[in-house]
């Protein structure tokens, strides 16, 4: 790409609006992503153990009840509900839920005769309301802005995984389980399984998350109310239920002059077949990326040790914003490229699923090469998934109408289907087997 092309990316845009869009995007999934990167610690102490991710993923999908209710109200209510008002409420719920997580994540209760992480599940549900609603509220809301700001919003959405992942890397997981000698009451010695503690706990971790949720809410208040932000609207008519009609030929620059943007010069309408095929592909990507893969990741990685699982979870989340960042500079609306990347992701996904099915004895167990391979596979896989989702979303943004709402709806349907399928396979079909480290009885 020529230097002039890079300069054109920064021309005719307000960096302040970019900054607010990024902060707004951070608030979308930071609560759920933070829960995911805490799995290596939560799995070790929760009564559900390795099955905890499958429970959490299903509860996250129950968060779709929020956007479902919003969609029904928009369709049948005689009064139009302003999406900005709903977003205020959703982000407020996210702030309170993140704060509550600091205090209740380890409180359990008996349900059907078994200990369950009830309060963790309740808080995750409210955090999920924020994330699930972002697909049908936050992203369509950004549709009123010029396309360049949709990409920066998606960068912020990616940072909702990067920031907690970076903090999790600093936090650490303590290390792999170790067998240490301890003295017994009868004067002898025996081995005891010991897991080194992290640098700081889950409560302190979610205090950081709460801070960013509050910052995200403040950014949205500014984005919605400042005139400098409203000047960056596309030439768009917003109808009931986030239905947008664009006049892409008419845009306004910083001086208030009319201009025609290069970014939209390549716009073409999709055929009905391609439109539907991309929607189906988006549903499949979300079914695996948001439903199946997170549920089975513990079975794929934990046999290689706590450190491998910790690095997989954190680096996979970092790959998300990196993929979105690269999309700013690389072509990301090529349907042919999406097809190629989906084939590569399929091959890597097969390996990831195979390691989970073969647990507790996956390939190259006990070999450093196996640990590197599983971490690298999951990281690249999540990066590809993020890049494809961004590419498809950008293509549908150009289609106008209710395309972004359709993308959001299909994404949630795919995610929900994947979560339910994974939950049944893990908890009922007994397809996956956990690994429990043991120590020798005597020295």
Structural domains in the chain, CATH included, are 13-173+201-251 (1.20.1250.20), 270-437 (1.20.1250)
Residue 380 or residue 144, greater confidence:
380
Per-residue pLDDT at 187: 66
List the structure tokens of 439.
Answer: 């120590």
CA angle at 175 for the pair 171 and 176, rounded to the nearest 5°: 145
Q: Average of pLDDT values for 189-210? A: 84
Per-residue pLDDT at 256: 41
Nearest-angstrom CA–CA distance, 228 and 17: 8
Lowest mean pLDDT among 42-46, 124-128, 200-204, 220-224: 42-46
Q: Answer yes or no: are the C-beta atoms of 380 and 346 closer than 8 Å.
A: no
* Sequence-distant (≥ 6) Cβ neighbours of residue 373 within 8 angstroms: 363, 364
Question: What confidence category does residue 371 fall into, taking pLDDT thresholds of 50, 70 and 90?
Answer: very high
CA angle at 388 for the pair 35 and 274, rounded to the nearest 5°: 135
At 192, give phi and psi (nearest 5°): -130, 140
List the structure tokens of 247.
Answer: 């006049």
Nearest-angstrom CA–CA distance, 199 and 169: 10
In this predicted structure, the answer to whether residue 338 has a pLDDT above a threshold of 50 is yes
In this predicted structure, the answer to whether residue 102 has a pLDDT above a threshold of 90 is yes
Q: Is the peptide bond before 360 cis (omega within 30 degrees of 0)?
A: yes
Chain centre distance of CA 131 = 8
Which DSSP state fits 264?
G
Nearest-angstrom CA–CA distance, 70 and 68: 5
Most confident listed range (96-100, 172-176, 269-273): 96-100
* Sequence-distant (≥ 6) Cβ neighbours of residue 340 within 8 angstroms: none
Q: What is the mean pLDDT of the chain?
A: 82
Which DSSP state fits 266?
T
The H-or-E segment that residue 297 falls in is helix 293-301
DSSP 3-state of 252: strand
Q: Summarize pLDDT for 229-258 with one digit per residue, the tens.
A: 888 887 666 555 555 565 544 444 444 444
Q: Average of pLDDT values for 119-132? A: 93
Q: Summarize pLDDT for 267-316 with one digit per residue, the tens.
A: 567 788 888 899 999 999 999 998 899 989 989 998 898 889 889 988 98
**Bridge partners for 401 per DSSP:** 244
Scan for tokens 């494809």, then name that residue.
388
Question: What confidence category does residue 441 fall into, taking pLDDT thresholds of 50, 70 and 90?
Answer: low
Question: What confidence category does residue 4 fall into, taking pLDDT thresholds of 50, 70 and 90?
Answer: very low
Q: Answer yes or no: are the C-beta atoms of 412 and 67 closer than 8 Å.
A: yes
Nearest-angstrom CA–CA distance, 349 and 293: 8
pTM: 0.77
Most confident listed range (183-197, 199-213, 332-346): 199-213
Pairing outcome for strands 243-246 and 236-239: antiparallel
Which DSSP state fits 127?
H
Spell out where 247-328 has E strands.
251-252, 258-259
Residue 101 or residue 140, greater confidence:
101
Most confident listed range (4-18, 145-159, 358-372): 358-372
In this predicted structure, the answer to whether residue 321 has a pLDDT above a threshold of 90 is no
């Amino acid at each position: 790409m020529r230097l002039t092309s890079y300069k054109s990316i920064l021309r005719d845009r307000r960096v302040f609006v970019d900054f607010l869009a990024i902060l707004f995007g951070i608030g979308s999934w930071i609560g759920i992503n933070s829960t995911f990167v805490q799995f290596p610690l939560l799995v070790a102490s929760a009564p559900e153990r390795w099955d905890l991710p499958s429970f959490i993923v299903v509860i996250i999908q129950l968060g779709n009840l929020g956007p479902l209710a919003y969609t029904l109200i928009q369709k049948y209510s005689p009064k139009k509900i302003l999406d900005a008002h709903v977003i205020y409420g959703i982000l407020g719920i996210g702030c309170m839920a993140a704060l509550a997580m600091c205090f209740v994540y380890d409180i359990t209760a008996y349900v059907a005769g078994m200990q369950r992480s009830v309060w963790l599940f309740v808080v995750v549900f409210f955090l999920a309301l924020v994330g699930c609603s972002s697909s049908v509220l936050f992203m369509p809301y950004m549709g009123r802005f010029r396309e360049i700001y949709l990409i920066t919003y998606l960068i912020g959405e990616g940072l909702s995984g990067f920031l907690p992942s970076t903090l999790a890397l600093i936090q650490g997981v303590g290390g792999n389980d170790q067998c240490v000698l301890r003295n017994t009451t009868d004067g002898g010695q025996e081995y005891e399984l010991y897991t080194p503690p992290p640098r700081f706990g889950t409560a302190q971790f979610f205090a950081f998350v709460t801070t960013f949720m509050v910052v995200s809410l403040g950014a949205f208040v500014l984005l919605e109310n400042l005139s400098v932000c409203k000047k960056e609207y596309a030439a768009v008519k917003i109808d009931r239920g986030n239905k947008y009609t664009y006049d892409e030929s008419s845009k306004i620059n910083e001086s208030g002059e009319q201009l025609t943007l290069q970014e939209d010069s390549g716009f073409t309408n999709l055929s009905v077949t391609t439109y539907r095929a991309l929607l189906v592909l988006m549903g499949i990507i979300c079914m695996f990326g948001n439903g199946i893969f997170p549920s089975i990741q513990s079975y794929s990685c934990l046999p290689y040790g706590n450190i491998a699982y910790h690095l997989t979870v954190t680096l996979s989340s970092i790959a998300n914003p990196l993929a979105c960042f690269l999309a700013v500079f690389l072509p990301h609306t090529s349907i042919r490229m999406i097809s190629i990347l989906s084939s590569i992701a399929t091959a890597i996904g097969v390996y990831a699923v195979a390691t989970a099915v073969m647990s507790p004895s996956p390939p190259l167990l006990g070999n450093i090469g196996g640990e590197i391979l599983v971490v690298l596979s999951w990281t690249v896989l999540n990066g590809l998934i993020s890049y494809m989702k961004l590419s498809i979303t950008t293509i549908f943004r150009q289609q106008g109408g209710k395309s972004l709402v359709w993308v959001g709806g299909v994404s949630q349907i795919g995610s929900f289907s994947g979560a339910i399928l994974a939950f049944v396979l893990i908890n009922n079909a007994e397809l996956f087997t956990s690994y429990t480290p043991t120590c020798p009885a005597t020295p």
